[in-house]
Structure 1
């Protein structure tokens, strides 16, 4: 239990200490009017309170990623928790803060437009493709996962459940952001709180289980995977949400369009990521504790994947009724992220083709084809979709981190807070795609890692040494000096 409480304490401390430092580097201006007020349209630009914006942001970003990812990552042992803590504080929360605050400074712009502004048009076009692919994959993953859990609870036909969830997504994607998302999410937040706190307390007071028994300092740095799978770089792809996730960069602009003051940014963006990190820690620790180590977890995963782990742990710790409520809390997470994934995809595509979204028929013109593609992809094996999602997710995070690094360098600020995690994650994704025999090129780990390091350093030199020397765009320069 000591290691778990220490990890949670480090995340909370990271919010107050490193989060405050990141905020100072960015340089908030509370007196500046935000896009929620200057561009109010009653659909996507709608001023909302700090508390509500935080809650919506947390539910937007916390899909099945901070549950399924840490469960799968727990197969490597407690080392997964080290990555969650370090990745969340120094990479994920920084990534989320800049994706949100740069959007605020750029009129609520989406991540492809931000990449275009600070890295150039080639980056914009590349990011448009990656972001759209990622968001559709997220939408599919966040339809299939809750449908699978609901099948276990209700026994209903999975196709029927997929149709119901897709129907909700379509409605939530089209209506003004404050009509469904802004009103229902507080209730969903209560379920999320019950799931996270309830399961943690249950295992701590249980006579049959204990939180991370027998874990030593050495275990935190050791790969305990029973199948002897290498920790590098797979762990950093497997655990995305909860440590660092490019999906969040597509979600932060949604709340950047609703945030009333720049001083709320650390709480909303950095703070929501810390909250997701705590959720990830809970499920990583639960997976190791409830099944008594990686061997027991391996057997549970073989019997139905992460969904089975959630089902067994929830019902085993909280009984039938409590287990149902906990599972519903888990179901809520992907559903509240899936609808905003499609919403983000609609807005990014609308920006790209310059189609205003205030009128419902124009929103339908983009939303319907996106949902049709998503429906087709639900027929593909979930494991295949998850692997592609993981790679696309971390690649999107890399581009967003380089965008933030370029912004800081061009503004003559401490770019290293973004350059260091960007370089590390670039090495991760390049090594992964070069080494992976299924998705990539199947090269040896030595060659893949060496190429990853070299290419990451080359990109760092390009962003900081060349792009970073350019002045900021004229309109942003005037905003920064105002």
Structure 2
């Protein structure tokens, strides 16, 4: 099958979802109001709560949620064939991911910018809230530690990506000053920023930088991870307008252009998919496609991490409530396009089936390297970009996606630490909470040695934990809509499907960990599964209590605009 046909169908489905389905959600389900005063205005503090242009905020949301996972997941899942991965990415983006991101963003900003874990206490009680926060903390720990390892590996394997990766920080700081201090107009800032980033790629390709094998007895991988954690610590303490917003915005533009270049290569080369639609001769040891497909591809179809970004940082920067449609739904579409591009790059970027099969010789053998290699071949053949520069562009894309997610992840971890403290009656200041967040992640990362390999210790739990988190977030959204007497089927159907698949996968993993004698992962999986089941029980109890309540009482902490004005259909 020709890859261009697959790309056109996939892109059309996602754009159609934004133009049609998100409009329905905004008008009938979430009833976005252009006159509602968001927490970015009512609670503006110049640090976390900052009214933000919707295009800049989209850049933050898109790049924060689209880390390495929408590359890793699809690049691994095509081992079962390209068709199941394609279906889950496209249908999941349109009916699950976009709705989830948009809905959680709306719910959070209607509750004074509270995180999904904290606002859950209003609907399922204190026990459920604490369990929610524990699951969120563990999920963020997985993301922050694993992405540090992934970024480090890419900086070592593709040294030409070092200069553009770190140079992007300087560009972002300048962009922040240009927007908020010098008041430059956004188009000018955008052009200057994108040109600067791509210039850095050209410089990086010409002057690759590699660390010595060891520095003070620490391997190069460990050194990069230490530098990354120091950066993430500092970045999470700065006001969002100074680094986080401009970095994510300009990265979002650059990454979207990168996606455009990748899709242009599909147009010019029009390669056939060398991988089968359904692979029957999967390598020995490959788990069954059901239900593992739906947790292997998390980001790119639907992801619980998105809810943490939407409610942790994005909701605090939403200028107008109607912007939730563009920021939340279209942010998820951006990630879906990345996942779709990954599927095509990893199945059409190799000349023969035998060449592709040699890469996918065992489960988890694909990943980022398959994306960089396959996509690099297409850029070289279709656009005439040198193999070296192609690898630099794609590796930098992957690094910047992962780095912006790590930026937001550490900031979110800090917020969760503070929320856990508040729940326990302990006041934790921002600096101390950041120290706790970074030190816990740092300790786990170096628990297996100075190379930082411990960062991947609990990563096998990410898929199931992430999807369980998405299901739990949807359950809170369901309760909120039931309170408002609004349509719930757009939430209920994905919620039931995702919960069943995630719990099914989690129980399969429990058996695997038990047989392998991996007691750390087994114990953590038990904790996560029990917490998720407990929260689900609390949700059922909350539904029961709600049905017995004849009248809904509203407070300032609840949804305070039961009858909003009609949504702006041009949002």
Deviation per CA, 1:157-215: give whole Å up to 9, x if none.
11121122112111111100110012223332243124312222224423xx7053697
Does 2:126 match 1:124?
no
Deviation per CA, 1:372-423: give whole Å up to 9, x if none.
1111222445664331111211111110011111111121111111111111
Q: What's the CA shift for 1:270?
A: 0.9
118-127 vs 301-310, which moves further: 301-310
TM-score (norm 2): 0.75
The residue number in structure 1 matching 2:367 is 306
Does 2:450 match 1:372?
no
Q: Is the 1:194–1:326 Cα contact (8 Å) retained in structure 2? A: no
Deviation per CA, 1:268-302: give whole Å up to 9, x if none.
10110011111100001111111357764453256
The residue number in structure 1 matching 2:24 is 21
RMSD after superposition? 2.8
TM-score (norm 1): 0.88
Deviation per CA, 1:123-156: give whole Å up to 9, x if none.
2111100001111111112211111111011243
Q: 1:27 to 1:194 in 2, by over 3 A?
A: closer
**How far apart, CA to CA, are the structure 2 residues paired with 1:440 and 1:345?**
30
The residue number in structure 2 matching 1:58 is 62
The residue number in structure 2 matching 1:387 is 460
**How far apart, CA to CA, are the structure 1 residues paired with 2:318 and 2:345?**
34
The residue number in structure 2 matching 1:100 is 105
Does 2:309 match 1:251?
yes
Deviation per CA, 1:326-382: give whole Å up to 9, x if none.
210111001000110110111122133239xxx9x9322011121111112224456
The residue number in structure 2 matching 1:406 is 479
1:10-409 equivalence runs, <5 A: 10-24=13-27, 25-77=29-81, 78-154=83-159, 155-156=210-211, 157-206=220-269, 210-212=271-273, 219=277, 222=278, 224=280, 226-227=282-283, 229-253=287-311, 254-291=313-350, 296-300=355-359, 305-318=366-379, 319-354=387-422, 362-378=429-445, 379-380=452-453, 384-409=457-482
**How far apart, CA to CA, are the structure 1 residues paired with 2:542 and 2:123?**
11
Q: What's the CA shift for 1:465?
A: 4.8
Q: Is the 1:310–1:327 Cα contact (8 Å) retained in structure 2? A: no
**How far apart, CA to CA, are the structure 2 residues paired with 1:362 and 1:251?**
21
316-325 vs 88-97, which moves further: 316-325
Aligned residues: 460
Compare CA radii of gyration and give the structure with the larger one.
2
Instruction: Classify the secondary structure of the residue corresponding to 1:423.
Output: helix
Q: 1:23 to 1:64 in 2, by over 3 A?
A: same
Q: 1:348 to 1:153 in 2, by over 3 A?
A: same
Q: Is the 1:73–1:238 Cα contact (8 Å) retained in structure 2? A: yes
295-304 vs 13-22, which moves further: 295-304
**How far apart, CA to CA, are the structure 1 residues paired with 2:300 and 2:249?**
21
Q: Is the 1:225–1:294 Cα contact (8 Å) retained in structure 2? A: no
Q: 1:363 to 1:294 in 2, by over 3 A?
A: farther
Gapped runs of 5+ residues in structure 1?
443-454
**How far apart, CA to CA, are the structure 2 residues paired with 1:463 and 1:275?**
37
**How far apart, CA to CA, are the structure 2 residues paired with 1:104 and 1:263?**
11
**How far apart, CA to CA, are the structure 1 residues paired with 2:539 and 2:318?**
34
Does 2:517 match 1:438?
no
Q: 1:106 to 1:224 in 2, by over 3 A?
A: farther
